[in-house]
Structure 1
């Protein structure tokens, strides 16, 4: 079993939510449909940011803070 790395740009959202479920709150606060989406295994944070027009660096910083807590 590989160790997941939050900084991996190819980390699928489904694995992000499974490993760090607290990160789903940041998505839901923005009304993003990623948690529970059938495409989540195929999309990464970059994809979600592009789709929803978010600043990726700022969003990643928020997610990292949720993971640290």
Structure 2
């Protein structure tokens, strides 16, 4: 199975965590409860940033740094 598109604005968090498990640490470092949340299959990064009042561009940059080439 191919990796999902990280830049897809509608990528559900559950799929993000399944494809890149290390990204859960970035969420937990910010005390975000997204990893393991029942809403993760329905929320995307944008939704999480809105919920936790985070700068989405800065957070995406942090997440992008965790993707291994």
TM-score by length of 2: 0.94
Unaligned runs of 5+ in 1: none
Q: RMSD of the TM alignment (CA)?
A: 1.4
1:26-68 C-alpha deviation (Å, 9 max, x unpaired)? 0000110000000000000000000000000000000000013
The answer to which structure has the higher helix fraction is 1
Q: What is the total number of aligned residue pairs between the two structures? A: 69
Q: For 1:25-44, list aligned pairs within 5 A.
A: 25-44=25-44
TM-score by length of 1: 0.94
Unaligned runs of 5+ in 2: none
- TM superposition outliers: structure 1 runs of 4+ over 3 Å: none
Contact 2:3 2:19 in 1 (8 A): no
Distance in 2 between residues matched to 1:65 and 1:21, nearest whole Å = 13
